[in-house]
Structure 1
């Protein structure tokens, strides 16, 4: 394995007090099992069910290509119907994935199949977002623009989740005006000669199976790899720490807009600058040690 990984702690069903004291307050990731067995979704949600209730919905799709300067932040690469996409998932490995899709806005009846976890977080009930991937699909290393606390619940199959503490952001080759790292980094096989600061990073890792829930604290980097076709549901709350709330607000109101504007104004030269600057800034941090 390329990194000296730390296994994310796994616990069975938590009470509100246990979660707040042991994980939310210290901002510590955890996998919670046996937490959603009372949800109808636990037994209902699979690809056949989704084909039935959402097969005609147009879904946003992404692949593993690098950022395209002609597209806005998080603009999809393709669209197709959910049933067409599920057919692709079931045929074999594919890089195509769904990212940040509010499926329940299009299929409100699915909300009846879930329960909002009562673990002390004020979850944003208008934003239950789903993520899909085929075998081998990877979600680039990133942290969420608004620094939320996230309950990430997996369905159908198995996915690998790698998390990095935000305290190690200075070693992550983060792109300026972005919340992703340099896209030339392969976190399954990192080039430590080109990206030497990664040697300082100690990622956390776990595999999620059907019905398991991962708590991701505010600002934690995450990289996902689908070991089998599957999909996940993310429930989020606003950042509870004022500093993170302000950084998230700056990302939404300024950084994202400025990045989109610079893509239009400078084109590929802007993306090249961000790549080069991520390496220069991060290696400068390494030299301070």
Structure 2
């Protein structure tokens, strides 16, 4: 894997200490005590979700990059949650549940957790679920809305590789997207093919059932499922000008251009952006790391 340091783990932390020690300096941290009193800590298993929401139809995503005129974030297929859980039990490792508001379909689930009082003004209408099977992977990306994220984890172990936004120039960022080039392997980096990765330093979070990972705004993240597991993301939208401005640009300009050009041009647009991801990184390396 690219060079990383472990994400710090802490127990109980007061809101003012969290804001000063982690939020203010954009430092990821694993909070071990946030979910301690939540009913979800005991209840939330795949069997529980099967029982209370098995008939809910959920969108699923695979690891294949969108091609042609396909929408960048289009679901691969939809099926009842119970059927998806059956597939996970049978070894499915590609299809993932992504950014799904199960609580809109099953409001009673909201009684299983509390929004933590940690100093973040969390958006209460959009707790979303992510789920995957053993050995599933999520492509390196950052979130379009630049939020502070509390990723509340349940089930088997999961690892999250985090990279601060100051390394973006080395990340083979695909223009008009929020992802790195799909062919770039952050687990087993090929430094000859992708030399930019030599300069990237990351943080590795190893999550266990009940952990909460704080992801600062703009951080890249790559997810490795070591077993069947799921996480709920709570989000606080940006209130400072730099992140709020980037959020609006991403939502109103970048995403609009990307969607329009995919429809009008299709695969040549995708190919052009993938080439530019490599070209821009190589130009940056040539300017800043010439021997």
TM range (shorter): over 0.9
1:218-245 CA distances to partner (integer Å, 9 max, x unpaired)?
0000000100001000000011331111
Query: For residues 62 and 188 of structure 2, what CA distance do their matches in structure 1 show?
Result: 19
Shift of 1:93: 4.4
Shift of 1:14: 1.2
Query: For residues 206 and 93 of structure 1, what CA distance do their matches in structure 2 show?
Result: 24
Is the 2:69–2:265 contact (alpha carbons within 8 Å) kept by the matching residues of 1? no
Is the 1:73–1:256 contact (alpha carbons within 8 Å) kept by the matching residues of 2? no
Q: Match of 1:288, SS?
A: helix
- 1:12 is aligned to 2:22: no
Query: For residues 168 and 240 of structure 1, what CA distance do their matches in structure 2 show?
Result: 23
CA RMSD of aligned residues (A): 1.0
Is the 1:101–1:131 contact (alpha carbons within 8 Å) kept by the matching residues of 2? yes
TM-score when scaled to structure 1?
Answer: 0.97
Shift of 1:69: 3.0
TM-score when scaled to structure 2?
Answer: 0.97
Query: For residues 170 and 187 of structure 1, what CA distance do their matches in structure 2 show?
Result: 15
Structure 2 residue aligned with 1:146: 145
Aligned residues: 288
Structure 2 residue aligned with 1:278: 277
- 1:25 is aligned to 2:24: yes
Structure 1 residue aligned with 2:163: 164
Residues 65-144 of structure 1: pairs in structure 2 closer than 5 A? 65-144=64-143
- 5+ residue gaps, structure 2: none
1:129-167 CA distances to partner (integer Å, 9 max, x unpaired)?
100000011111000001000000110111010000101
* Runs (4+) off by over 6 Å: none
1:25-63 CA distances to partner (integer Å, 9 max, x unpaired)?
111100010221111111011111100111001111011
- 1:40 is aligned to 2:43: no
Query: For residues 165 and 241 of structure 1, what CA distance do their matches in structure 2 show?
Result: 18
Query: For residues 44 and 34 of structure 2, what CA distance do their matches in structure 1 show?
Result: 16
- 5+ residue gaps, structure 1: none
- 1:217 is aligned to 2:199: no
